[in-house]
Chain A
Amino acid sequence: MNKEARQSTGNNPVLDVRDLVVSYTTRSGTVTAVRGVDLSVEKGKTQGIVGESGCGKSTLAFAIMGYLDRNGQIESGQILLDGEDISNKSQDWMRKIWGKELNIVYQDPSAALNPSMKIGKQIGEVLETHGKVPEDESRQETIDMLRELQISDPDIVVDSYPHQLSGGMRQRVCLAMALISRPKLLIMDEPTTNLDVTVEAKILDIIKDLKDEFDTTIVYITHDLGVVYEVSDRSGVMYAGRFVEEGPTDKLIGSPIHPYTRGLLRSVPEVSSETKKGKLRPIGGSVVELDNLPSGCKFNPRCPYRQEGCTGKEPEFQTVEGDRYVRCLETETVMADTAEDGPVPDEGEFRSEGKSTEEKILKADKVKKYFGEVTTNFFTREKKDERVRAVDDVSFDLDEGNTLGVVGESGCGKSTLARTIIGLEDITDGQIKLEDSDISVPIEGRDQEILRRIRIVFQDPRATLNPKRTIKQAMMRPIKLAGANHKEALKRTEELLQAVDLGPSFMDRHPDQLSGGQKQRVAIARAFASQPELILCDEPTSSLDVSIQSSIINLLLDLQDDLNTSFMYISHNLAVVSYISDYMAVMYLGRLVEVGPTGDILNPPYHPYTEALLSSVSMPNPDVEQKRIRLSGAVPSARDVPSGCRFHTRCPRKVGEICEAEEPPTRTDRSEEHTITCHIPVEELREVKPVLQK
């Protein structure tokens, strides 16, 4: 059946994984993480593997590499690399091919590089270890390789240490290290996940170029469908340790068949300037636990197309349209259902639009937050200003009941802005007002009533709840602080948990008994506990899986509708911000370069930085055409900001000397609300072609 079919397509695959089963031995028994995976990748092709956390994609990668932990073992199956089974080779044997024929690029380049070794030596080591070239030649080859990866000044970079390079540069060095020995197979495990979109876009470009040039076979693992769409020829979607769908990437993304693939694609918010947006459609439930799998199709508890037969036998891979494979019993029903939405449990509602009120809930006026102090040289009495200008002269206001989204690359100061507003950092200069109360003071100087009215939701769900306190304790405390007695607090806790879809059974649990998404729900419920008027959300979904992310976003919007709470939503994810916000602010190196209603931000006139950000977003949508703009370099240090316009060092639309010499003026577009801070006149910017076109 399908196995033979699959092998006939790949006449001579570089990687051929056959019915691979991998399990881990844990204290509570054996857990099978990869439950029978077939995969063949032809020479020079890129195979994408997509899935949420816990689906077994990293285990698959480690099994192929022979890097399984001591408690992990390959139960059965084969891994053929160029026809030779490497699934049962010894470490000594594997050592000969690691780095030479088989290589891996990791998610975190700073952990993958040795901090005390120069770049040239680290890369050269790969060549020298495998005896391909003597030491003096390896240096030249390394420099050539770095140049290949579009690293400027490679002869300087070879003599640098990893800490002297930016994150994007480090990842390119890792790529160079992986590619220099021309491996037969290169595995990439989320190589761009930790990078900014602008950097990610560039790395993806490089990967696409290299593929053609080196004819390398790549297995690309990621949770991001947009990325897979950009780089891979074929893609597989993994769920519960198996592929549920596999096929050519454009077909898989363009017309997904398996309900899980559809669900994943649907739960990703798109960058779109339409003001009336439908609700996101999260996949119900959560990823199955591998030690507690449902019978039959593993996706059936979450599947909107579920039939009675689905709980019986796990479906086999079926061939569809010649070269696609789907593990679903109801393939025909699902395929016949071309409706955009499919049968989703809750009826698609439309979000109410941002209410226009006269009330300003938050006003920031020339807010500055500098770190460090001006130092004076003891002898020369020269003053040296090396303060980090994390937030520099930021002014905006936020209408009651609305959401202001703040976007920008990491290091642009968006988190510091939020922390300054809530008082975790003391303000250097400027004024912040919550309605009519001045809150330009740190927390210690604010009274309980002010504290009650403004709350924050943090990024890391693992750190946001005290591991030693039960959910009930965590929830009741802020309610009691707001003046409620024990009985009232208990009742309100139940209501709040209900509102975030957590039953009363969660009350006595500790945070370590909750999943990441559930913890974040508790954190949101806790933020709402004191009935605040303003909630600052600092990347609340960025460490969550996409299907969870969409349900959290829906939850925030529902609560906003019900309670008329105002949000300031900070994220590096433009799609999420554009989806959730009524207003957006684009931040670069401590300054707001563009502020305005979401629709205006996403259409011309753009600030050149906004334009570049928009064109860097990878979107899993074949219908959208995206303009290609790539920024050079990384965000400069906030300790030593560029003169004039801070963006001039990277700006693709730099006019000339004026950008370096003078601070750009802030001009308004047609509406007063939309402002752009740039030397280029708004009229000229308006002529720019839209980045995204259907």
Chain B
Amino acid sequence: MGLLVRKVKNLFNVLKRLSNSSLGMIGMTIITLWIVVALLGPIIAPYAPTAYHPQDRFNPPSWKYPFGTDRFGRDMFSRVILGSRSVLILASSATALSLVLGSSIGLITGFLGGIVDEAVMRFMDILMSFPALLFAMLILGIFGPSSFGVITVIGLVYAPRIARVARSAVLEVKQKEFIEAAKVRGESKLYIMFVELLPNIWGPLGVEASVRFGYAIFLSASLGFLGLGVQPPTPDWGLLMKEAQSYISWAPWMAIFPALAIASLVVAVNFLADAIRKYEAGEL
């Protein structure tokens, strides 16, 4: 239990240091706001996101419908609020997946070196040479659109990039004498990798993961926009943009508010990523 308390305290300290940078503070505030919105969605939202109001189709923003309504008269405000859920869940799960995959691959190849390293990293290069969106479309096109598919695909797309970062961090740390000391006392390779090495590369991994999280939001929204992600009628920011596409000239609010939502979250994540980078470099 003591350990848990210490970990939480540690995390709190890190967050406090991150808030020393004003951009980091803004980023964290916006992200926290969106997390709260996602959690309390149904309570905040004035209407059900899928409730039709046939008499109020294409209403511009008003007190009744702050973000206006769409072609079925659904409240855009409620849809944007509920849409934050899918984006946050998809992007964070995908990032977590790529972090697990990427850091394991980087750790193993970096530590073992030699032919394994060469082979695996060249394969990673091949994966990376596909444009992310194209690769995702290809896979989802074959297996059919689903939330699970989106998570897996984004996880796979970004894993090689995280593997690269992990590998280069490992190459630096593995020459340190404490690693040799571990070898000398007969530790297994797995122990050295996951107990001695891994905790020492969290820094660069954290920076990379936070950057990837920003990209993952974007990619999941893009896939939603292309109809390869969450399926209607579930509200999703990418999907909302897609629906707005045909009416953009005379109902621009349908596109503007989901776009602002995506932009605010991506920018906030990038602010935070920058603060994490500075923290790792000891500038905060």
Contact = CB atoms under 8 A, between A and B. Distances in A.
A458 B180 contact: yes
A523 to B, nearest CB: 8
Nearest to B186: A451
Contacts of B200: 466-468
A550 interface: no
Given A467-B200, A468-B199, A477 B178 contact: no
A451 B178 contact: no
A493 interface: no
A530 B196 contact: no
A375 interface: no
A481 B183 CA distance: 12
A582 B177 CA distance: 28
B178 A481 contact: no
B181 interface: yes
Given A460-B177, A464-B177, A481 B199 contact: no
A463 B184 contact: no
Q: Is the interface of B mostly helix, strand, loop or mixed?
A: helix
B177 A455 contact: no
Contacts of B184: 422-424, 443, 451, 455-456
Interface in A404-463: 422-424, 443, 446, 448, 451-452, 455-456, 458-460, 463
Contacts of B177: 458-460, 463-464
Interface residues of A, number: 26
B186 A463 contact: no
Given A466-B196, A466-B200, A443 B183 contact: yes
B181 A481 contact: no
A463 B178 contact: yes
Interface string A498-535: 00000000000000000000000001001000100000
A478 interface: yes
Contacts of A423: 184
Contacts of B185: 451-452, 455, 477-478, 481, 530
Nearest to A468: B199
A458 B186 contact: no
A465 interface: yes
A526 B183 contact: no
Nearest to B196: A466
A454 to B, nearest CB: 8
Contacts of A466: 178, 196, 199-200
Interface in A460-496: 460, 463-469, 477-478, 481
A424 B175 CA distance: 12
Interface string B182-208: 011111000000001001100000000
Contacts of A530: 185
Contacts of A458: 177, 180-181
B186 A465 contact: no
Interface string B113-147: 00000000000000000000000000000000000
Nearest to B181: A464
Nearest to A529: B185
A567 to B, nearest CB: 16
Contacts of A465: 178
A424 B180 contact: yes
B186 A464 contact: no
7 contacts: A443-B184, A459-B177, A464-B177, A464-B181, A469-B199, A526-B181, A530-B185
Given A424-B183, A466-B178, 4 more contacts: A443-B184, A463-B177, A466-B196, A469-B196
